[in-house]
Chain A
Amino acid sequence: MSDSAYRITAEAGAAASTAGAGDFLALLKPRVMSLVVFTGLVGLLIAPGQLHPVLAVVAVLCIAIGSGAAGAINMWYDRDIDAVMTRTAHRPIPTGRIAPGEALGFGVFLAVASVAMMGLIVNWVAGGLLALAILFYVFVYTVWLKRRTPQNIVIGGAAGAFPPMIGWAAVTGSVSIESVALFALIFFWTPPHFWALSLYRCGDYQDAGVPMLPVVAGKAVTKRQMLFYTLLLIPVALAPTLLGIAGWIYGVSSIALSLGFVSAAVAVLRSESDAPAKRMFGYSLFYLATLFGLLIVDGPIGLSG
């Protein structure tokens, strides 16, 4: 049999893959999706105005599906480097459980469906922002920046910062300074969060040829940059109180949590081992989840409502 016939046969076989429902769920990056859904939900809950609970559920569902769609397309594009990195080598495409084309089709279908549902059922401002977030993640972060610059996650982090703004727009039908403040909180949180991970996964990124900051500029520069962003987060995290969408409980807590983040960055800066970076990565997740949780507790629908 000629090479082309072998290729056609292999592709036909791959097209009828043996992937189960769980493999398709894994394509949606459910762990990333959980934080996206939570921050989107908070944006929706603290926005001024009212949205019918059914439409609110649809809005959150669309944010979740849109996030998963972007993740699936990302896995399709990054399948070559995913196969090299230990953290991602078990994903459905590198392991051959899902054919690349199948993953791409699945992702594109979900992306279009989530944006259409958001636009038609909720409103087109939220739908437009969801489309922008997906397109930004796929084209700006995954295709353009990720393999080209160590600033990939600084700029690309914007994609993950959209959900609270989308949730807010689902209720208000607009973008406001308050929703931009929520966007900024995630935007400035992303670099220290991701660089903490990349510090102790540095070898993985090096093997895959991804120019993460520790690979290109070295660990010392990365640690200083992480400290810079954690300091920047102190006023950024306080902004919701200053803008009146959260009370003093949130304000005081945000300062305490931000100082904790700064001290974690200082510990990383002073240490040569991976342990402080791992602790900082864990703390960064706690930090963001707690801040957004406090926005509910001490926001317009909570104690300050």
Chain B
Amino acid sequence: MATLVMNTDREQDRRGDDGRDPGEWQRRRRSRNLAVAGILGALVVLFYIVTIVKMSGG
């Protein structure tokens, strides 16, 4: 049973889990990953600036 479920998962992953175009699935995952990377980068910059402001008594 477990094997059957895993196989089904793999099949869904390959298709893009709701049977949509794999290219579309990859495009969406890519946009999501880029957004997360952008947000993390922005937070690093923001926390750096906030630290400088706090250290200078702002």
Enumerate the 10 nearest inter-chain pairs by beta-carbon distance, A residue then B residue, closest first. A21-B35, A52-B58, A20-B28, A13-B17, A20-B31, A13-B12, A21-B31, A54-B53, A9-B8, A18-B25
Can you name 17 A-B pairs with beta carbons within 8 Å? A1-B4, A1-B5, A9-B8, A9-B12, A12-B5, A13-B12, A17-B17, A18-B24, A19-B28, A24-B32, A54-B49, A54-B53, A54-B58, A55-B53, A58-B50, A96-B18, A121-B50
- What residues make up the interface of B, taking CB atoms closer than 8 Å to A? 1, 4-5, 8-9, 12-13, 16-18, 20, 24-25, 27-29, 31-32, 34-35, 46, 49-50, 53-54, 58
Q: Please encode chain A, from 7 to 23, with 1 for each CB lying within 8 Å of some chain B CB and 0 for all others.
A: 01100111011111110
Contact A58 B46 (CB under 8 A): yes
The number of chain A residues with a CB under 8 A from chain B is 22
Question: In whole Å, how far is B43's beta carbon from the nearest beta carbon of chain A?
Answer: 9
C-alpha gap A22/B32 in the complex (Å): 8
Contact B18 A18 (CB under 8 A): yes
C-alpha gap A21/B5 in the complex (Å): 28
Contact B1 A1 (CB under 8 A): yes
- Considering the complex, give the chain B residue whose CB is closest to the CB of A61: B46
Question: In whole Å, how far is A150's beta carbon from the nearest beta carbon of chain B?
Answer: 38
C-alpha gap A96/B19 in the complex (Å): 13
Contact B58 A18 (CB under 8 A): no
Contact A22 B31 (CB under 8 A): yes
Report if A177 contacts B (CB, 8 A). no
Which chain A residues numbered 87 to 142 have a C-beta less than 8 Å away from chain B?
A: 96, 121
Q: Please encode chain A, from 25 to 64, with 1 for each CB lying within 8 Å of some chain B CB and 0 for all others.
A: 0000000000000000000000000001011001000000
C-alpha gap A6/B44 in the complex (Å): 42
- Enumerate chain A residues within 8 angstroms of B24, measured Cβ to Cβ: 18
Contact A9 B31 (CB under 8 A): no
Question: Known contacts A22-B31, A54-B49; is A5 also within 8 Å of B4 by CB?
Answer: yes
- Enumerate chain B residues within 8 angstroms of A9, measured Cβ to Cβ: 5, 8-9, 12
Contact B29 A52 (CB under 8 A): no
C-alpha gap A5/B13 in the complex (Å): 17
- Considering the complex, give the chain B residue whose CB is closest to the CB of A99: B17
Question: In whole Å, how far is A64's beta carbon from the nearest beta carbon of chain B?
Answer: 13
Contact A16 B13 (CB under 8 A): yes
- Enumerate chain A residues within 8 angstroms of B16, measured Cβ to Cβ: 18
C-alpha gap A19/B16 in the complex (Å): 11
